[in-house]
Amino acid sequence: MNNRITEAELGECYKALDRIRALTEGLGLRYYIETYGCQMNEHDSELLAGMLIQAGYAKAETKADADLILFNTCCVREHAEKRTFGNVGFIKELKQQNPRLLLGVCGCMMQQKEVAKRLYARFPFVDLVFGTHELKNFPSMLEELLMERDRIFRVSESDGEVIEGLPIERTPGFSTFVNIMYGCNNFCTYCIVPYVRGRERSRKPEDIISEVRSVVQSGYCEVTLLGQNVNSYNYGGVTFPQLLRLVHDAVPELPRIRFMTSHPKDLSDELIAAMAELGRVCKHIHLPVQSGSDRILKAMNRRYTSSDYLKLVEKLRSSVRNVEITTDIIVGFPGETEEDFEATCELVRRVGYSNAYTFAYSPREGTIAAAMEDQIPEAVKKERLNKLNAILLETIPRNNEKYIGFTGDILVEGVDHRGEPLLFGKLSNFKMVYVQGDEGLIGKTVRVKVDGFRFNSLFGHIVKEEEE
Ligand code: SF4
């Protein structure tokens, strides 16, 4: 079974946080966390914030007001290292102005030991560097820093653990994320995640359910069950579709359940059936295709073909009413020919995505694809990306035509003030709808009718009772 943090280790975390609180009482210390990258990093930052609040820190509004700054870094985006090093460099001046300011750098980029060492060596004013597997040691490292002020570098190469029971400070709102698993076993050849987040570890269903219950009690109305590949969730034989049913049935007061991300190779008929049957499971799936060429999919180690993918799309559309599909696509993967790229364009036209996140391939140090021959020139990647985006500019609005006259429920998330103020919120299938309405409706579910669309957003009005 999974490597889990022990009760004794958790007890030590809380004891260290109590000692920090006693040590710093009356000093009015404040923290500032800057987070880069995906929801996994957001989640880690929420845990770091939770621990700091437990230790007596308050949140600072700006870096200049903080006594502790943490950069939670990401190594997935392009030029991430250059940007992170630049941002860290800027803190030198703040450290000169405030000698008690501590600076820590953590997250995926710091789990790449060579990069972490480079950063630690280049910026002697960085007090703390730690990798993604060190969260449980954060209280003791902070305590050590406060007592001794010696620099700390801690990056371990374990496969990671499942950490339960740490305090968490969630970003306020109506929608939140609950991790169901950590890590990834897939080793897509372009991706650094398995190297920095370790092997797949699934959480116990009971722990997930109790966290979902507690976020609903705190007022959240939408929970996204999160994992790098939720479809391979497995705890003691409980699969992801089973978990979805368990959460759905155990927390009936939760209006909306989403999940992310689904690897096509593991998308089962059971999951499609669960999406179709469970009323409060949202009818949206993010299903990254990455390429429409079988040759490139193989080189990416995706382990499905374009025809497997299209069959899944067909099954989803025929089983789940009003389902919408979004995706990720990489163009310019090493060795991608014009023919391969055309296959991607063709697949995009056939699927008719609700939305797509498109990227020009950029190598990640340490991955298999980074060392492949036939890297595609930047100009070609850019041209292909533009071409693909132009296709999406046509196909996404076409997919919206069916919504004219459609009636459905949105969860109102806020007001868009860019022009005439409009409330915005998503349908269950993730389509964003803008309507006129009162700000008091934020956080409520309202029935809307769609009158028009613009690119990937819909526009409509709130349905009055007599219109029903
Ligand atoms: S499934 Fe592939 S792309 Fe997704 S996190 Fe795992 S290795 Fe990366």
Residue 165 in domain? no
**CB within 6 Å of ligand 1 — which residues?**
184, 186-188, 191, 193-194, 228-229, 263
Residue 138: enclosing H or E segment and its boundaries? helix 138-148
∠ CA 100-104-107, rounded to 5°: 165
Q: Which residues, other chains included, contact 208 with Cβ-Cβ below 8 Å and sequence gap of 6+?
A: 178, 180, 225, 243, 247
The reply to whether omega before 35 is within 30° of 0 (cis) is: no
Could you list the residue range(s) of the whole structural domain that residue 37 is in? 7-154
- At 366, the pLDDT band (50, 70, 90 cuts) reads confident
Among the listed residues 30, 118, 130, 32, the one whose alpha carbon sits nearest the alpha carbon of residue 73: 130
Query: Looking up tokens 């096509």, which residue turns up?
Result: 264
Task: Say what the pTM is.
Answer: 0.92
Q: Any bridge partners for residue 281, and if so which?
A: 257
State both tokens at 363. 């190598």
Per-residue pLDDT, 39: 87
List the CATH number of the domain containing 329: 3.30.750.200
Q: Indicate if 38 and 108 belong to the same structural domain.
A: yes
Q: List, for residues 302-356, the tens digit of each pLDDT value.
A: 999 999 999 999 999 999 999 999 999 999 999 999 999 999 999 999 999 999 9
How many A from CA of 191 to the centre of ligand 1? Answer: 6
pLDDT at 184 over 60: yes
As for how many domains the chain has, the answer is: 4
C-alpha to C-alpha distance for 20 and 14, rounded to whole angstroms: 10
List the CATH number of the domain containing 129: 3.40.50.12160
Per-residue pLDDT, 365: 84
Pocket test for ligand 1, best of 229, 260, 261, 304 (most atoms within 8 A of CB): 229
Per-residue pLDDT, 237: 96
Q: Which residues, other chains included, contact 154 with Cβ-Cβ below 8 Å and sequence gap of 6+?
A: 129, 130, 131, 134, 137, 141
C-alpha to C-alpha distance for 146 and 128, rounded to whole angstroms: 11
In Å, how far are 227, 277, 285, 383 from 212, measured between CA atoms?
15, 20, 20, 44
Q: Which of 47-51, 171-175, 415-419 is modeled with the greatest confidence? A: 47-51
State both tokens at 60. 């600072």
Ligand 1 atom 2, closest CA: 188
Residue 360: enclosing H or E segment and its boundaries? strand 355-360
To the nearest whole percent, how much of the chain has pLDDT over 70? 99
Per-residue pLDDT, 160: 76
Residue 164 in domain? no
| Residue 445 three-state SS | strand
Residue 313: enclosing H or E segment and its boundaries? helix 306-319
Arithmetic mean of pLDDT over the chain: 94
Q: Indicate if 140 and 23 belong to the same structural domain.
A: yes
Q: Indicate if 12 and 144 belong to the same structural domain.
A: yes
Q: List, for residues 204-256, the tens digit of each pLDDT value.
A: 999 999 999 999 999 999 999 999 999 999 999 999 999 999 999 999 999 99
Per-residue pLDDT, 78: 64
The per-type count for the chain, helices as H runs and strands as E runs, is 15, 21
List the CATH number of the domain containing 252: 3.30.750.210
To the nearest whole percent, how much of the chain has pLDDT over 90? 86
Pocket test for ligand 1, best of 108, 185, 191 (most atoms within 8 A of CB): 191
| Residue 339 three-state SS | helix
